[in-house]
A and B are shown apart, each in its own frame.
Chain A
């Protein structure tokens, strides 16, 4: 196989630093299995029960994210969720999630999204210049999910538990064709604080 066919990061060809310092660190979340789940109109109770049985979590009833055993589920709209499997492999959607299909519409989107994790002391200050939502510590809490717009690009973001250093961690999911534009917007916004990119992160 020629190198042209080898898998490579969508961020491979973009500059990986800006400014000086490490105010914002962006980490590519590669290899995630992602699916969209929409409850069938009359099946919400059954779906919730089935999901709890198999994944040990209650589907969030709002714009919240919960995670257990390498699977995260984020509420993105009434009766709709984004499911993310870490290191889940290709069989995540066709296998583990397929049992939900009787109760929900399931769409495999692993290749449709690019996900970036941001951490660092200046994550909020950088994002505040880009999204029209309140990211204050008390208004956008760990586990909160928001869908909004970033320089005309629809984005989904969620706040993770703070890093052990106390720095906030936020992940952004964007349509893959927007990934480089999103990255450049972030990099420019974070330049004054120092920006650096790290290729991949597990867990």
Chain B
């Protein structure tokens, strides 16, 4: 699998490390929610067979966090965006 880093260009998977679901990270950062919703956001993870928005870290490249939209069945990547430029 290759990820097209917006800064570095297309790079091998071995340069990246995986964090997980990008949308639950957004939910954790949101203050306006109940304790129950926070617990769900922190501990409950969807594990979809299909399109997934996830966070990757370009550890051996430019050190950017990336938001990657990927199909978990085929590893096809639909979009890559710098997390710092992510629209909420």
What is A's interface to B at a CB cutoff of 8 Å? Answer: 62-63, 76-78, 80, 132-133, 146-149, 154
Least CB distance, A82 to chain B, in whole angstroms: 12
Given contacts A77-B63, A147-B61, A148-B60, contact A62 B7 (CB under 8 A): yes
Given contacts A63-B9, A78-B82, contact A149 B15 (CB under 8 A): yes
B86 sits at the interface (CB 8 A) = no
Cβ contact within 8 Å between B61 and A148: yes
CA–CA, A154 to B58, complex, Å? 12
- Name the B residues within 8 Å of A146 (CB-CB): 8
Partner of B60, one of A77, A78, A147: A147
Interface residues on B, range: 10 to 19
- Write the nearest CB–CB distance from B82 to chain A, whole angstroms: 6
Tell me the minimal C-beta distance from A55 to chain B in angstroms.
22
A80 to B7, CA, bound (A): 11
Residue B30 interfacial (CB < 8 Å): no
With A78-B84, A132-B14, A149-B14 in contact, do A154 and B9 touch (Cβ < 8 Å)?
no
Q: How far is the CA of A148 from the CA of B11 in the complex (A)?
A: 9
Note all chain B residues with C-beta closer than 8 A to A77.
7, 62-64
Chain B, 62-73, contact with A by CB distance < 8 Å: what is the 0/1 string? 111000000000
Task: Assess whether B15 is in contact with A132, with CB atoms less than 8 Å apart.
Answer: yes
Known contacts A76-B62, A148-B60, A154-B60, A63 near B82 by CB under 8 Å = no
Is B35 an interface residue, CB under 8 A from the partner?
no
Within the complex, what minimum Cβ distance (angstroms) separates B36 from chain A? Answer: 35
- B15 & A148 in contact (Cβ 8 Å cutoff): yes
User: Which A residues are in CB contact (< 8 Å) with B12?
Assistant: 132-133
